Amino acid sequence: MMNLLSTEKKIIFFAIILFFTLVVILFYVTTGKRIEERGLVQNASPSPSSIPFQMPSATPVQNNTVKREENNDIHAIVRYEQGSFDPADITVTNETGCFVEIQNTSDQDVIPRLGPYDPKQEKGFLYPAIAPRQTSLIDPRYGIVTQFSFYNKNNPSAVFTVSIDPTCL
């Protein structure tokens, strides 16, 4: 009888140890994800809850990008010309609709990607190519992170940074 009670105590003890070990592992895994999300400027991956808003006056291209049909709205505008983005730093606010309008004035496609450039992986939403002389509107909001860099996949040295005003979060 004493041996059976001792075995039951051992099983309960090991079950409790296993439970707390799993809790600690889960804590470190979720903390690591939160740290990665806070550092999205360096290691970006979109949160599933940040599904971008679609502008009603535009034609959807993908979940996160809209192709402009008219230019009545005011947006933060970045132009891609001669191999670089201008301006290199912008801020989106409620007044700009929290969107970035990328105007491709070059003769080559622009493929916006979340930076910094990493040849091994692409981060964030996979924005579609913007044809020469075309414009696309993107929603740069990824959760609570307030600054991102974007680059052109076809020319990784072309970079621009978007700062998100708190009114857009």
Residue 5: pLDDT band (50, 70, 90) is low
Q: What is the pLDDT of residue 21?
A: 86
Pick the CATH number of 58-168 from 3.20.20.70, 3.40.50.720, 2.60.40.420, 3.40.50.12500: 2.60.40.420
Q: What's at 169, amino acid-wise? A: L
Q: Is the pLDDT of residue 19 over 80?
A: yes
- Yes or no: say if 138 and 99 are a contact pair by the CB < 8 Å rule: yes
More confident residue, 17 or 67: 17
Which sign, positive or negative, has the C-alpha torsion 161, 124, 51, 158?
positive
Which sign, positive or negative, has the C-alpha torsion 117, 63, 108, 57?
negative
Q: Is the pLDDT of residue 37 over 80?
A: no
More confident residue, 63 or 110: 110
Residue 107: pLDDT band (50, 70, 90) is very high
List pLDDT tens digits, range 112-164: 998 888 888 887 788 899 999 999 998 888 777 889 899 999 999 999 999 99
List pLDDT tens digits, range 49-91: 333 333 333 444 444 444 444 445 688 999 999 899 999 999 9
**143/41 Cα distance (integer angstroms):** 12
Q: What is the pLDDT of residue 4?
A: 56
Q: What is the pLDDT of residue 117?
A: 87
For range 4-18, the mean pLDDT: 82
Average the pLDDT over each of 1-5, 19-23, 65-69 and give the range with the smallest value: 65-69
